[in-house]
Structure 1
Amino acid sequence: MDAHFLGIPELVETPSVAVVVDVMRAYTVAAWAFAQGAEKIVLAESLDEALALKARHPDWVALKDGPHAPGFDAVNSPGLLRSVDLTGRTVVQKTTAGTVGALAVKEASLVLCAGFVVAEATAGLLRTRGCDGVTFVVTGEDGRADEDLACAQYIAARASGAATDATDATGFLRRAGASRAAAELTQGVRQGVHPDDVALCLELDRFPFAMVATSEDALMVLRPYPAPAPTDGDRATA
């Protein structure tokens, strides 16, 4: 598989297949939202759009980065979201980097959103689709966030059929745990944080689904996609 790793500012053309990676915390939060029963997640262009969607659909759950704010129901924290019952609900998500990255590649034929918690399911879907060329969008720090790059590189290795098991993932997870984002979350530099957020973002393959974003009624909508069953080739390299 031909993998390219680009920051959002480097996206000069629309890729065919894109994997948008935001480990800390957008797509860890999205995965937890689905685990808590959410039906779909609408990726908002701006805070104003998120609030407008919430105003039109009062039963939707709006969340954002940072501290709690009027009009929003939740913040972008897996530790805080994991206790919220979202059964059958629609979530509107707006974050600093993750949602921006997905909207930047919305014209791609396949858009996946990922973190370590859905790494193997994401890689499995890429293998099943036979994707020869994949652009990994490293959303944090204009493409320099090591937690996102490490996750992207791990998924790329798994998607290529490399013999990368959970033990081999240790180095990638260590890099993420030593990242600037992890330090800022741990030290309280960022707001709207739960003490367990970093640990939850580093849970490898916590959930058995990938997350696919598609255009629905002019909105970018994220939905869970069940992990494909492993093939004999996958078992041989696992």
Structure 2
Amino acid sequence: MKAHFLGIADLTDVPDVAVVVDVMRAFTVAAWAFAKGAGRVVLAESLEDALALKALRPDWVTLKDGSPAPGFDLVNSPALLQNTDLSGRTVVQRTTAGTVGALAVKDAPLVLCASFVVAEATAGLLRERASREVTFVVTGGSGRAEEDLACAEYIAGRAGGDAVDAGPYLRRAAESRSAAELTQGVREGSSPDDVAFCLELDRFPFAMAAAVEDSLMGLRQVTPAASLPA
């Protein structure tokens, strides 16, 4: 498998397979939303679009980066999501990197959204597809966020069937600028505990596939066949 690692601004063509990586924190949060019972995660184009969807569907749950704001129910923090019951709910997520990256490749035949918590399941789906080329969209830091690049490289190695030691990749993420900012409380709408949640390798057995449904880009859980019980 040939892997390409690009920032959002570097995308020029529609890839056949795209893996959009946002470790800290969009796609760790999305995975936790599913774990808390959400049936679907909708990726909003803007904060205004998220609020418009909420106005049309008051039972949907809105989530954003940064500090709490009127009209939004949750912030983009896995730690602060722990006491939230999302059973059967649709979550509308808008962030400054992850959701933007996914929407940038929405026309790709296969879009997976990933972080360390769903790394092996994501790699498993790529192995099942036997894709010759995969574009990894490194969403943070204009394509240079160390935690996203480390996760992308780890998944690429596992997707290629290599026995990869996750330790060095997790250490790179733990020592990243994003991890330091979260630990120091620099980012609003976060918890210092977010870093630990974001570095919990393979916490969930599912991957997250994104596709356009009813004009909205949405995430749903997908479980690789290899991980299903016999």
TM-score higher than 0.5 here? yes
Amino acid across the alignment from 1:220? M
Superposition pairs of residues 31-46 of structure 1, within 5 angstroms = 31-46=31-46
Equivalent residue for 2:189? 192
Give unpaired runs (5+ residues) of structure 1: 232-238
Equivalent residue for 1:71? 71
Equivalent residue for 1:181? 178
* Cα deviation, residue 227, structure 1: 3.0
Structure 1 counterpart SS, 2:118: helix
Offset from partner CA, 1:70-121 (integer Å, 9 cap, x none): 0000000000112100000000000000000000000000000000000000
For this pair of structures, how many residues does the alignment match?
A: 228
Offset from partner CA, 1:204-230 (integer Å, 9 cap, x none): 000000000001011101001113315
Contact 2:26 2:98 in 1 (8 A): yes
Equivalent residue for 1:122? 122
Give the ranges of 4+ consecutive aligned residues of structure 1 lying more than 6 Å apart after TM superposition.
none
The 2-side partners of 1:70 and 1:230 are apart by: 41
Equivalent residue for 1:133? 133
Does structure 1 residue 214 correspond to structure 2 residue 196?
Answer: no
* Cα deviation, residue 31, structure 1: 0.2
Structure 1 counterpart SS, 2:161: coil
Contact 1:121 1:228 in 2 (8 A): no
Give unpaired runs (5+ residues) of structure 2: none
**TM-score, normalising length: structure 2:** 0.98
Amino acid across the alignment from 1:203? E
The 1-side partners of 2:137 and 2:163 are apart by: 23
Equivalent residue for 1:234? none
Contact 2:19 2:112 in 1 (8 A): yes
Contact 1:33 1:82 in 2 (8 A): no
Equivalent residue for 1:163? 163
Amino acid across the alignment from 2:181? E
Equivalent residue for 1:236? none
Contact 2:185 2:191 in 1 (8 A): no
The 2-side partners of 1:135 and 1:69 are apart by: 34
CA RMSD after TM alignment:
0.9
Structure 1 counterpart SS, 2:12: coil
**TM-score, normalising length: structure 1:** 0.94
Superposition pairs of residues 27-106 of structure 1, within 5 angstroms = 27-106=27-106
The 2-side partners of 1:28 and 1:82 are apart by: 12
The 1-side partners of 2:46 and 2:158 are apart by: 33
Identity in percent = 72
